[in-house]
Structure 1
């Protein structure tokens, strides 16, 4: 049985074509063809990279953060790494898990923030220890991307260089076959000249052109890393500013609502007091009206009695 036939194959989660396991992407289990159809983007919240799986869904939030938004609402900035991914409390899940596993956070030697974790008890698996420097997760991912881009550029340059050497070798073979009839004394100088010819043979790694190219490449990598770090710091500062503005807006809205509720309560209290006063005044008016009517009746009866008594005493005698 051949080795290819004995290798187990696994189905792509999108097109269901079968491939070796190492050729499928981690997580989504997509083949190379399906991976090329959709871009890899960074999550707005946790800043981890993920691949979009649909042309209609262009969301820049990963599935994990989408589920957390539905459960807990929009997150706040993590007090360690400043990513807007703190759904519960004031720490993101990544930093909270690292703190629980490796202890308190230390300063990252790249971004100078207190967001790195020293995995001293697990140095072989410490992926955040790069070139002897202790880096945070964000700086490690940035460095890995830069190294991957550099490796890709170097592989392209190496491929071009091999093709160039292959052409030079063919030219050299043709020259040798052409000069095969010459004498040994004439062939020895030609061989020395071919060795001195820069278009033949392998490129000397100590040559000035090679050193200049490597120096330029290193400078380009360093400048790109600085630009990436600056952009990430700008994004972090903008995310922090947005979070602060949202918190300020929330506080202002809460204060206005509380103030409106207090004013409504005061107005209701005043309205109740005014209604009570009006009712009391109406009762007083009614009482005064009744007493005034009684007084009028008494006055009229007194006047009538007086008139009647006066007419009886003043009548003259008939004798």
Structure 2
């Protein structure tokens, strides 16, 4: 049985053509042709991969997030993973479900954010690390690319080895092996390139994801700063209003006290004037009474004197 016949084949989920498993895309299980016709992209909001329906539809939002946008409007940043996918409350659906199932979030060993959830199962860890969902997907893609690259390097080495053996056989037959060995060395050197070279590519999807996460984190922090600034402005406005109200109340109290003082002074002046008038009236009445008493005494004396003068001649 040949090697090709021994390799199991799997059907593409779109065109149903059969291919080796490593040639199909993860998740959607699509062949290279279908992936070229309908590219796999990451959702702008939840960061999950999905297959575009057609080349004319270049939307970068998955159907689930599109439905949520229609129902709840544009999402905000999740307080755990910082993805712009919190449609209800402050958490995205992925983190909310994980928190409900596995408990509070813990720190991710890769991005150092509190966005991972401990499943208490070592088999769920990636490379022995407790990672969040985004870092898990990124590391899995990196490991898959490294494995694929190493596999291609091994195949290249195997083909190079077979080619080298064939060349040696031909050279021994032609007694010209020295020149042939020198020709085979460049291909062998090329096969010894760094298998992790793809990891340093700044245009790789993981690099783009990391940059997108940083941009989303910065946007989330800027939004929080703006909210804090709005809160401070609101508090400053409230403080200014309270100060103005306090100033107005103090001014009103002072004016009221001054008015009462003026009223009391006016009343005091009126009472003093009335008292002075009454005292003058009393003094006038007292003088008039004394004068009347003096006149009364004088009349009585005169009366008595006139009476005594009338009686004396009659007695003589």
For Structure 1 versus Structure 2, the TM-score category normalised by the shorter chain is 0.3 to 0.5
Which 4+ runs in 1 deviate beyond 4 A? 1-31, 176-319
Deviates more, 1:168-177 or 1:142-151: 168-177
Find the counterpart in structure 1 of residue 147 from structure 2: 151
CA drift of 1:53 comes to 2.2
CA drift of 1:49 comes to 1.4
CA drift of 1:52 comes to 1.5
Deviates more, 1:63-72 or 1:148-157: 148-157
User: Relative to structure 1, is the Cα distance of residues 73 and 157 closer, same or farther in structure 2, using a 3 angstrom cutoff?
Assistant: same
Conserved 8 A contact 1:194-1:200: no
**Corresponding residue pairs, total:** 315
SS in 1 for 2:85: coil
Conserved 8 A contact 1:146-1:225: no
User: Relative to structure 1, is the Cα distance of residues 89 and 215 closer, same or farther in structure 2, using a 3 angstrom cutoff?
Assistant: closer
CA drift of 1:37 comes to 1.6
Deviates more, 1:97-106 or 1:36-45: 36-45
User: Relative to structure 1, is the Cα distance of residues 120 and 203 closer, same or farther in structure 2, using a 3 angstrom cutoff?
Assistant: closer
CA drift of 1:203 comes to 26
TM-score w.r.t. structure 1 length?
Answer: 0.47
Conserved 8 A contact 2:160-2:187: no
User: Relative to structure 1, is the Cα distance of residues 232 and 274 closer, same or farther in structure 2, using a 3 angstrom cutoff?
Assistant: same
> Unpaired segments of 5 or more residues in structure 1?
none
Conserved 8 A contact 2:153-2:191: no
Deviates more, 1:180-189 or 1:272-281: 272-281
Provide, for residues 129-184 of structure 1, a one-character-per-residue CA deviation record: whole Å limited to 9, x for no partner: x2222111111111122222222322246425533542344324641685999999
Find the counterpart in structure 2 of residue 252 from structure 1: 249
> d(CA) in 2 for partners of 1:218 and 1:227?
14
> d(CA) in 2 for partners of 1:296 and 1:53?
132
CA drift of 1:309 comes to 68
Find the counterpart in structure 1 of residue 286 from structure 2: 289
> Unpaired segments of 5 or more residues in structure 2?
none
Conserved 8 A contact 2:44-2:60: yes
CA drift of 1:271 comes to 45
Conserved 8 A contact 2:14-2:34: yes
> d(CA) in 1 for partners of 2:298 and 2:33?
117
Conserved 8 A contact 1:77-1:240: no
Deviates more, 1:33-42 or 1:88-97: 33-42
Conserved 8 A contact 2:85-2:92: yes
Q: What's the RMSD between the two structures over aligned residues?
A: 16.9
Greater CA radius of gyration, 1 or 2?
2
CA drift of 1:104 comes to 0.7
> d(CA) in 1 for partners of 2:235 and 2:128?
31
> d(CA) in 2 for partners of 1:70 and 1:290?
106
Deviates more, 1:161-170 or 1:73-82: 161-170
